[in-house]
Amino acid sequence: MGKASSSKKIKRVQQAGVSRAPGQRRNLGFPALIVGIIVLGLAMVFFARSQKIEKVGEAPVVDQDKWYSAYGLDICGVFQDNPLPIGPDETGITPTTDGLIQIAPFVESAAGKDAQFGLFADQIGLKLSNGELTLADGTTKKNGDSCTGEDGKTTEGEVVMYVWPPQATDVTKPEVVTTDLDAQRFTEDGQAFVLAFAAKGSKPKLPPSLEALQSSSHTAATPATDAPSGTTTTTVVEGGSTAESTTTTVAGG
């Protein structure tokens, strides 16, 4: 076959592969459609994922999560008695008989980001503000008040909250919170909280109720119905005789 004949065949093949006339623009509609479908699909995936996180990811979830946190009220180095509620539970964030905080919200206003320490404080009659706390019996402690520690020394005290992560030990350093104590969130099961009026510079201590976290059974505390809130009557024996005495336990302290 001659060289000229081969060149003509190659030219015909090349021309056959050209489907548009000289100067005609390439049709970009189909590639653009494919790109658009891919972009729309990715957008829908990310939207669905964000909606799922927003709906389910904000724990604790209403009528689903049931957490427990250790709690203690420390006044100048002395932990107070376990708190009692001052009324019926209206949120699911309430004290237990063994000194824990039960976080089992049954209303949206106590779930997710709204599961905050202030709801528990309201339940036990505790009022908090920056640098000040007021117990259910009206006793107030504020920054600058004197605090006599376990060593007998009197120094300036401050209102502070210590927050430990789950499975904390004596060597675990807590988060130290001094403002917006009401807004402190319950973020996971097994945390430990200590609200304290403590001498400045004193070392934080884990709450005694921490041991109760290991128990599988906890009972929510209920307000007393036959006596004023926080008041209990006990029988004591003195010199062989039985005497009745009334003592008052401060709710929340």
pLDDT tens-digit map of 23-33: 555 666 777 78
Contact 70, 80 (CB under 8 A): no
pLDDT surpassing 90 at residue 251: no
Of 86 and 16, which is predicted with more confidence?
86
Is the bond leading into 60 cis (omega within 30 degrees of zero)? yes
111 CB-near residues (< 8 Å, 6+ apart) = 58, 60, 61, 62, 105
Mean pLDDT over residues 212-241, rounded?
59
pLDDT surpassing 70 at residue 2: no
Each residue's pLDDT tens digit, 149-205: 777 889 999 999 999 999 999 999 999 999 999 999 999 999 999 999 999 989 999
Distance CA 120, CA 89 (A): 10
Mean pLDDT over residues 44-69, rounded?
76
SS3 content of the chain, % helix, strand, coil (to 5): 25, 30, 45
Q: How many CA atoms lie within 13 A of 251 on its CB side?
A: 26
Mean pLDDT over residues 50-55, rounded?
52
- Residue-range domain boundaries for the chain: 67-224
Contact 223, 84 (CB under 8 A): yes
pLDDT surpassing 60 at residue 132: yes
Contact 71, 193 (CB under 8 A): yes
